Structure 1
């Protein structure tokens, strides 16, 4: 039987920029390793599984009418025993391995319009395309290669380096650190020629930090790692003032100033990039209990791990927490298997979220390893969220890279991304469980008048009190006094005195301000701020926070709003030119923490200009707003700008209220395109003015039901000195095994460490040092 469809269409090999989805199905996590393999569409290169129960390949054909596919099946080759040491990583790149290096692969071409009729791969119209698909980088590898590209730039300190009087460094002077006997990991100060050892690094690289000590004593900023210098002029250059790896365009000249000829140098040590890559690929979190026993692997629905894509543990920890919540499960998993009808599922967020939910919750990809696999690892291989990571981080300056990121920042980004997508499609928003209303109360100490301002939030960042223990009192290497969660909440909601000039009475006696809960969320996300600034760099502090196992109440932190007898203050002061005057002291404080001035001014304007914690929380809440870095412009708000009724009607037809439409158009000068963008980036803004917001009593998020009891649901933990390096894992309280009559007693802690999922047991110590806490509403 011949196929009439081969001659009826024109097939072309994939170009270098086209995505070829051959590593896994675009709608589920089936791979070519499954018995049915993956069908790659030879028209658009979509990858679809050919499984008997889902057959996403045929679904794609019905939608696209692309009949010809290449079916790819593969079996992993036995692992070769390496006798020689592995080759050194020479640059930050993806090894150029082919399918043939790792797999035995079988392929066949078939026509789905002819009930899977097998076609001859030698047909001229097909052969070239098949070869192009097999030799092309898969979409996964293509994303990884692009994401690994990291440009290290010069800074002002390397560009205008002022060196001391020249001297020739003798070989013996370059033999070891000037302060100790270390002979590797040596850093040459390009300013004065001092040689100091670096800090300890991953992989057993020793260091006493004498290079850093030299900087602290002299403030000489730029050093070069001697062992990393290559004859072609590359080397590790570090700027201590920037606290970043930098590029020195004049490195050869700066080294020759100290008598070092770059052409005679030989690279003998791994670079910082190589060490970072090796660190990310090989990091192991402890998988044993206190007795040294291996933790019990778990399998089945809800116990599927996520493969580390090189630096994606921050993403895995957040995703596991989100999809353990009922609202996310109901929204993305319990949909009767239905998937959106789209020609490009790999780039459709709804599809990728449902694919992720199915992968994590179905149990299809969490099976006990067979005997051969058991020899390699007792854990399942997990699923690779490559497609999801590439899509959700697309065009984001940080999350599109392979560098380690802050899990809390990614959580906020995920919430905003999902919320914006839900708003656009008018679907149920699973992130509503995080939303609540906070209320800030400010009272002038002169006239006693008050101001109330509300803000919709998705989390709180609580300050953790810092109290160092005396050396003689330190136990178990604990340098800080333990604090309770209640102490952190008390600190977050306590009254603070501020410098304040009252616009009502003119008093300069100051004011007191307090932030509290106007409503309570279903899930409270708490970020524990355990940082202090060291050389203007946020440095993590290991302060134990004691979190209760039993439900605790937030009733004491409830704000009851304007009370009888209280008189409202005038609104945020403006000058005669209608410009906002930020509180200088708080503005400086926020700027010193690294926030741009424009963001700080917006935060102060939107939080009453008097509370640094409220302003900081606003910054965390709105960091992903597309207009966050635009200058504060009050002239548009409340001005005489004429708003077109037609523009209002268009926005109203999109599902927005008239108030929201008017405010968005005023905020953007009447520009429709920018107004739509503003609306999607402010989904919780109901369109009322700041004056109306201060007096309204309408509940916009959360509820006021009390007792407001909460119980710990999950935690994200971090291991490492900086949230931008190290490793993230998550612990989630889940039901293990068959549910009994007393479900609460069956719940136990489960550790998700990338693809490894194990019974966590007691996690009291981990709870003390968690980075992000998820508390569920507890209803007795």
Structure 2
């Protein structure tokens, strides 16, 4: 409460004073420019924003925004820096008058939702205040002050810069659309030629090859929520595989304005054709006479989400009751970010993470880094926002003052229009929007740095690696909370001829399990001629006990093509992978998709997994090594796990590099070739995979006494005028990222690095592996669930066991 006193006193006194035209503290201030990092939407140290009572104070020295509410970070910033001139920004709410039907998935586009219409319109109020002089400044009467204010008002904030195209993917031309070579003497296509697929009788979902004019059906589609099978035998894809012709257009989506669904099989992405009209005219198709007869992919996605009720807070057809309080704070969707929100909710429920990033440590109060660019500041802000309960409430908008006079009819009309709108607001929790966290942690990541839908499991893996990277820069990672996930797998390989065995171990942070469909109850009995929807309905009533997943996990695999050093011949191995060290917190990932037929399109499995309240993993615990067991000589020198070379050869034949295939088999715990293939499709070409393989290749090389240093990164940073010691220290602070290291040095110009001493790598390794309880029993406390019928789209929600029972976290809805 003492922090509030200076603000209240100054504000109360100020009401009785006249505005001043200027003050001496403003003379040295310079307006923000395009290169300035401007924060004006949300406090950089908490989630208070311009809609809160009192608004935000934007410091005109640093262009950072600070709250003036309960935490009063504005006062703390003034006390630490001595800066005193701030632009206060308030956003006052004006209720909308009429509901608008949303007809497009785009926010801000025609037919879509506009940000200023989603809850009504707003009016901003600006006040320039000097706390040292205790006066409001009349910036409109002074050109210099006016330039300071105008710059803050008109320039894009960092949040707005990162919100570009938040919901609608920007579709761009690719090299194949820009360099298309159409075949000579192409046939002219009439209505009869375009009536059905050239390889079957399907007359919908037709795609025209813009290279040769071949018309083929697309992949199978089911109209969501109906029994209408749109058909699709994949003949357009077959045509691409045979000819190499890169891209095609969906006939029924072409409009006279030149819009249509186009897909490039070579790029495996949606594309734009800048010369679509000319390319169609080559086949005798006049684009101006085309009529749109089928839904676009975007329209079907919107319909799928609406019909499936992915974003609703219903369970078994019933609307669930909203819950509020500490630990019950929702996370607003900041652009297809449900995958991130569901994972963060589960991680925030883990005591080790709550303790490490608790605001009680007051890291942000003493940190000299920019709060938006400091990992620990953002983690403290995130966990405070989720755990404090301050944002687990109904949003209270600051409304514009009502007109002085209204007649009775006008008042009655406004009350009627107000009722449904307020009813909607009552169901909506305020929540938090972790945009700064996402921008910092996911910076430059090819997937998570954008605004497209991603996989929650992949984000969990990315998040844990990010936590480890940032924590290593602080006391060698001794306070790293992600250690609670550390587990160790032991792989035993036994020659099936001489029965010599070999053991190897690998450290992981999660376990992956397959779905043994043969154990489904009631049994899955495929029927001839089933539609996709009928398959999904049949699977959805079946359940596989998790104990059967454990049983499948421990079953040995046969590895062929192994050259035994004892038998001196090529033979087979019996390979078993079990858990030699259990983690404190187990992250179990059950693969819920499969490939029908080998490399066909992936399909989601709808079979349920049955979990008991307490899960015992003793059945997959690695037993003690038998006495007198015959071991391979290599085992005395250790070594990595044995890789099934037959699997490597089969996967390599599909176009993957052999070392990447081997890495995929190891990453999936040798669970099977199908699991490795799924992993390759998801991670095979990612920068993380390439870096891990490169690191492995260099693992046998002699290491220096100090930490590993990227010499190229050091040279690049030194070319900017920094010393070698500064470059090495900055790389250590930023996990080896050269760009972040340069930013770190520019933000710490007076930093003098200490003398670099040798890093006790073995001791650090021991520290990283210290977690583990040896207890195989676990209580289920959190679930991340994917909703939707496709693995390429849908919605994620999280369920957590709390003091009030199981709670669903559906973005900002907590029920």
Q: Which deviates more from structure 2 when the two are superposed, residues 630-639 or residues 390-399? A: 630-639
- Once the two structures are superposed, residues 331-362 of structure 1 have per-residue CA deviations (whole angstroms, 9 ceiling, x without a partner) of 22352655252341112121111111111111
What corresponds to 1:393 in structure 2?
442
CA contact (8 A) 1:437 1:702 kept: no
- Distance change >3 Å, CA 607–CA 98, structure 1 → 2: closer
Secondary structure of 2:163's partner? Answer: helix
What corresponds to 2:137 in structure 1?
119
Of residues 516, 539, 543 in structure 2, which corresponds to 1:482?
543
- Alpha-carbon separation, structure 2, partners of 1:613 and 1:193: 33
Of residues 338, 349, 363 in structure 2, which corresponds to 1:324?
349
CA contact (8 A) 1:60 1:343 kept: no
The answer to whether structure 1 residue 42 and structure 2 residue 60 are counterparts is yes
What corresponds to 1:154 in structure 2?
174
What corresponds to 1:513 in structure 2?
575
- Once the two structures are superposed, residues 698-726 of structure 1 have per-residue CA deviations (whole angstroms, 9 ceiling, x without a partner) of 993443534x2112111111122444411
Quote how far apart the aligned CAs of 1:680 are: 7.3
- Alpha-carbon separation, structure 2, partners of 1:560 and 1:459: 20
What corresponds to 1:668 in structure 2?
none
CA contact (8 A) 2:799 2:808 kept: yes
What corresponds to 2:332 in structure 1?
307
- Once the two structures are superposed, residues 593-645 of structure 1 have per-residue CA deviations (whole angstroms, 9 ceiling, x without a partner) of 88654433446689999986997899899998757347658885545x5x655
Secondary structure of 1:501's partner? Answer: strand
What corresponds to 1:750 in structure 2?
807
Of residues 527, 543, 560 in structure 2, which corresponds to 1:471?
527
Size of the alignment, in residue pairs? 707
Alignment of 1:347-746 (within 5 A): 347-368=373-394, 373-426=422-475, 428-467=479-518, 468-471=524-527, 477-479=537-539, 482-499=543-560, 500-534=562-596, 536=599, 539-571=602-634, 583-590=644-651, 597-602=658-663, 626=688, 628-629=690-691, 632=694, 637-638=699-700, 645=705, 647=706, 700-703=769-772, 705-706=774-775, 708-736=776-804
- Alpha-carbon separation, structure 1, partners of 2:589 and 2:795: 17
- Alpha-carbon separation, structure 2, partners of 1:377 and 1:90: 23
- Distance change >3 Å, CA 365–CA 165, structure 1 → 2: same
- Once the two structures are superposed, residues 281-334 of structure 1 have per-residue CA deviations (whole angstroms, 9 ceiling, x without a partner) of 9964342343x4321111111111111123011111001111111112222235
CA contact (8 A) 1:90 1:274 kept: no
Quote how far apart the aligned CAs of 1:246 are: 3.5
Secondary structure of 2:263's partner? Answer: strand
What corresponds to 2:404 in structure 1?
none
CA contact (8 A) 1:466 1:543 kept: no
Q: Which runs of 5+ in 2 are unaligned?
A: 1-16, 397-418, 519-523, 711-726, 738-758
Quote how far apart the aligned CAs of 1:556 are: 2.3
CA contact (8 A) 2:491 2:504 kept: yes
- Alpha-carbon separation, structure 1, partners of 2:174 and 2:671: 38
- Alpha-carbon separation, structure 1, partners of 2:693 and 2:563: 25
Quote how far apart the aligned CAs of 1:378 are: 1.5
What corresponds to 1:342 in structure 2?
368
- Distance change >3 Å, CA 172–CA 83, structure 1 → 2: farther
Secondary structure of 1:422's partner? Answer: helix
- Once the two structures are superposed, residues 229-274 of structure 1 have per-residue CA deviations (whole angstroms, 9 ceiling, x without a partner) of 4567553212457653234576445423421134655778775356
- Distance change >3 Å, CA 716–CA 489, structure 1 → 2: same
Alignment of 1:91-130 (within 5 A): 102-114=121-133, 116-122=134-140, 123-130=142-149
- Once the two structures are superposed, residues 94-139 of structure 1 have per-residue CA deviations (whole angstroms, 9 ceiling, x without a partner) of 988679982122210112344x532222232221121122222332
CA contact (8 A) 1:109 1:121 kept: yes
Q: Which deviates more from structure 2 when the two are superposed, residues 614-623 or residues 251-260? A: 614-623
Alignment of 1:158-197 (within 5 A): 166-171=186-191, 187-190=207-210, 191-194=212-215, 196=217
- Alpha-carbon separation, structure 2, partners of 1:169 and 1:601: 48
The answer to whether structure 1 residue 30 and structure 2 residue 98 are counterparts is no
CA contact (8 A) 1:228 1:236 kept: yes
- Distance change >3 Å, CA 374–CA 354, structure 1 → 2: farther
Secondary structure of 1:510's partner? Answer: strand
CA contact (8 A) 1:12 1:43 kept: no
CA contact (8 A) 1:572 1:609 kept: no
CA contact (8 A) 2:615 2:777 kept: yes
- Distance change >3 Å, CA 634–CA 103, structure 1 → 2: closer
Quote how far apart the aligned CAs of 1:24 are: 1.1
CA contact (8 A) 1:458 1:621 kept: no
Of residues 93, 99, 102 in structure 2, which corresponds to 1:76?
93
- Distance change >3 Å, CA 531–CA 557, structure 1 → 2: same
Quote how far apart the aligned CAs of 1:548 are: 2.9
CA contact (8 A) 1:436 1:701 kept: no
- Distance change >3 Å, CA 629–CA 357, structure 1 → 2: closer
What is the aligned-residue RMSD (CA, Å)? 4.7
- Alpha-carbon separation, structure 2, partners of 1:160 and 1:281: 37
Secondary structure of 2:471's partner? Answer: helix
- Alpha-carbon separation, structure 2, partners of 1:151 and 1:686: 49
CA contact (8 A) 2:498 2:567 kept: yes
Secondary structure of 1:420's partner? Answer: helix
Q: Which deviates more from structure 2 when the two are superposed, residues 232-241 or residues 53-62? A: 232-241
CA contact (8 A) 1:461 1:527 kept: yes
TM-score, length-scaled by structure 2: 0.74
- Distance change >3 Å, CA 571–CA 607, structure 1 → 2: farther
Secondary structure of 1:367's partner? Answer: coil
What corresponds to 1:773 in structure 2?
none
Secondary structure of 2:581's partner? Answer: coil
Quote how far apart the aligned CAs of 1:555 are: 1.8
Q: Which deviates more from structure 2 when the two are superposed, residues 499-508 or residues 620-629? A: 620-629
CA contact (8 A) 1:539 1:721 kept: no
Q: Which deviates more from structure 2 when the two are superposed, residues 173-182 or residues 217-226? A: 173-182
What corresponds to 1:656 in structure 2?
none
CA contact (8 A) 1:20 1:46 kept: yes
- Alpha-carbon separation, structure 1, partners of 2:67 and 2:770: 41
Quote how far apart the aligned CAs of 1:202 are: 8.3
CA contact (8 A) 1:91 1:274 kept: no
- Alpha-carbon separation, structure 2, partners of 1:699 and 1:378: 44
TM-score, length-scaled by structure 1: 0.77
- Alpha-carbon separation, structure 1, partners of 2:192 and 2:678: 54
CA contact (8 A) 2:473 2:734 kept: no
Quote how far apart the aligned CAs of 1:561 are: 4.8
CA contact (8 A) 2:797 2:808 kept: yes
- Distance change >3 Å, CA 687–CA 543, structure 1 → 2: farther
